[in-house]
Amino acid sequence: MRVLVTGGAGFIGSHIVRSLAEAGHEPVVLDALLPSAHATAPEPPAAEFLRGDVRDAASVRAALRGVDAVCHQAAMVGLGKDFADAPAYVGCNDLGTAVLLAGTAEAGVRRLVLAGSMVVYGEGRYACPRHALVRPGPRLPEDLSAGRFEPHCPACGAELAPGLVGEDAPADPRNVYATTKLAQEHLAASWARSTGGTAVSLRYHNVYGPGMPRDTPYAGVASLFRSALARGEAPRVFEDGGQRRDFVHVRDVAAANVLTLEAAGALPPGALTAYNTGSGDPHTVGEMATALARAHGGPLPVTTGEFRLGDVRHITADSSRLRRDLGWRPETGFAEGMAEFARAGQRASATPGG
Ligand SMILES: NC(=O)c1ccc[n+]([C@@H]2O[C@H](COP(=O)([O-])OP(=O)(O)OC[C@H]3O[C@@H](n4cnc5c(N)ncnc54)[C@H](O)[C@@H]3O)[C@@H](O)[C@H]2O)c1
Ligand SMILES: [Zn+2]
């Protein structure tokens, strides 16, 4: 299969390009090499490469020549600096997706895999002993300042137990980036309905591993901790370190993309199917910091009680649908993956927030 990988020079995209080539496919990369994602000249992708923007119809048309499937990874990631960044996010992520999909429709390509995100779910899913499943709203600044990090039941105030979020959970995007990731899915669903194509959104959880961009707030906490360790400093863990996340290795995410691209022909046409893409083995941010610090040989993390408004407390996926439908099996476990990452290189990035 000849596969167009947009954003194929980025962190996840470059692993997908490598995995596609290893599986005997022919990847072609379209990437604008955004300065926010690439400070220094990136390594040339191990594939045919076109430098261009997904918002540019002519670049998209050229990149789609002879292509059988599209794997759409290009996006602006991160929380941005402030709301003034909203037009740039919406431009790259949503206008870009619309231009790409229009080109895909015109070129007769009917297979699309989208880099989705767990950010579409907001604060995840919780069980109250009296009210069963509840969805708490954003945490209040006064609670966070007082060290009350756990969300409480919106009906009775009881303590809640975090649960696993399934694909059918209602969307609740809480920032501009999350909103653009949700809109990408809606655009892809519309594309599928009007072309009869097959669209899949792989809703990645916290992806980490070699090549991860350095010091960008979104690209992750694992990367910030890794950078601190490299400077000989202790990783600074916010809140009380008890935030639960699903850290999934980038090679497993790349494998999920290859598998989905190959299987897309057997998935329902004319619709978008969403798959949570997580390891299924949630850990706290504190555990992750400790694992990295130990593998690096110290210093051990400190828990600071600081917080970021808008962060969610726990968000962990139920990724069993992807395992059941497509036979995906993540291969890099938490301990092994973190030990490797503690030693592996990160990628330089120009501006934090990119
Ligand atoms: N890293 C994670 O944990 C994570 C989690 C959930 C979803 N995602 C999604 O995965 C995808 C890849 O993210 P990543 O972490 O590899 O980020 P990244 O910044 O390393 O890669 C994104 C790439 O897209 C390119 N790009 C951005 N806008 C473009 C445009 N308009 N035209 C052409 N190229 C453009 C950038 O130059 C970059 O090379 C994104 O869609 C992101 O939303 C990532
Ligand atoms: Zn309750």
Total number of residues shown for the chain? 354
- Say if ligand 1 is within 6 A of residue 346 CB: no
pLDDT of residue 291: 97
Q: Is 177 an annotated catalytic residue?
A: yes
Q: What is the pLDDT along the chain (354 residues), one digit of tens a residue?
A: 999 999 999 999 999 999 999 999 999 999 999 988 887 767 777 789 999 999 999 999 999 999 999 999 999 998 777 899 999 999 999 999 999 999 999 999 999 999 999 999 988 889 999 999 998 888 899 999 999 999 999 999 999 998 899 999 999 998 899 999 999 999 999 999 999 999 999 999 999 999 888 765 555 789 999 999 999 999 999 999 999 999 999 999 999 999 999 999 899 999 999 999 999 999 999 999 999 999 999 899 999 999 988 788 998 889 999 999 999 999 999 999 999 999 875 565 543 333
CB neighbour list of residue 42: distance below 8 Å, 6 or more residues apart: 9, 33, 347
- Are 25 and 226 contacting, i.e. CB atoms less than 8 angstroms apart? no
CA of 219 relative to ligand 1 center, distance in Å:
9
Q: Is the peptide bond before 35 cis (omega within 30 degrees of 0)?
A: no
Which ranges constitute the DSSP H helices of 231-333?
Answer: 250-263, 285-296, 320-326
**Could you tell me the residue ranges of all domains in the chain?**
2-125+163-343
Among 204, 206, 351, the mutation site with the greatest number of ligand 1 atoms within 8 A of its Cβ is 204
- What is the identity of the amino acid at 100? L
Q: Token digits for 209?
A: 């591993």
| Closest ligand by atom to 350 CA | 1
Distances (CA, A) of 342 to 16, 34, 55, 223, 292: 22, 26, 36, 9, 5
Among 28, 31, 90, the mutation site with the greatest number of ligand 1 atoms within 8 A of its Cβ is 31
β-bridge pairing 244-245 and 283-284 = antiparallel
- Say if ligand 1 is within 6 A of residue 12 CB: yes
CA of 134 relative to ligand 2 center, distance in Å:
8
Q: How far apart are CA 11 and CA 279, in angstroms?
A: 18
Query: Hey, which CATH number is domain 2-125+163-343, 3.40.50.720, 3.40.50.880, 3.40.50.11440, 3.40.50.2300?
Result: 3.40.50.720
Q: Of all atoms in ligand 1, which is nearest to the CA of residue 12?
A: 16
CA of 222 relative to ligand 2 center, distance in Å:
33
Q: How far apart are CA 88 and CA 92, in angstroms?
A: 6
- Are 169 and 189 contacting, i.e. CB atoms less than 8 angstroms apart? no
Place of tokens 């792989």: 202
Task: Show the beta-strand stretches assigned E in 235-338.
Answer: 236-237, 244-245, 247-249, 271-277, 283-284, 302-303
Q: How far apart are CA 72 and CA 201, in angstroms?
A: 10
